[in-house]
Amino acid sequence: MSGRITSCALTARENIRAAIEAKAMICVYGQAGGSFAVNASLRELAPKLTRRIRFRARPSTRDLRHELFHALGLQGRLPSHAIEFDRMLRGALEHVLVCDEV
C-alpha cells in the first residue's frame, strides 16, 4: 500500500509541476492522501506562491471572492459588482488555486 501512496504522490507532484509551468488549471481528486500529496507538492514547488485560506462551512461565492482578495494582497477597494470582482481575480490568479474538501 505504501508503494501506491508514493506513486500517487509522485504523480500528483509531477502534474502540479506541469500545471505551474504551463500556468494552467488542474483538478486533483481521488482517495485518501490526496490532500497530503497536494500540500506537500505545493510546499516543495511553490512555497512563496502558496496562500492558505480557511473558509467557514458552506461559504458563499461572495465569501470566496473576499477571502481571495485579501489572501492575494490585492490593492484598492473591493469591487461592488461580481463581474468586476471576477475580472480582478482572474488577472491576479497567476497561482495554483486548490480547493480541498469542496
pLDDT at 96 over 60: no
Mean pLDDT throughout 76-86?
90
Residue-wise pLDDT for 24-68, tens only, equals 778 877 777 778 888 889 899 988 878 788 888 888 988 888 888
For the chain, give every domain's residue range: 1-49, 51-102
Residue pair 54/25 in contact (Cβ under 8 Å)? The answer is no
d(CA 97, CA 48): 14
Can you tell me whether residue 17 is helix, strand or coil?
Answer: helix
d(CA 50, CA 39): 9
**What pLDDT is stored for residue 1 in this prediction?**
42
pTM over 0.85: no
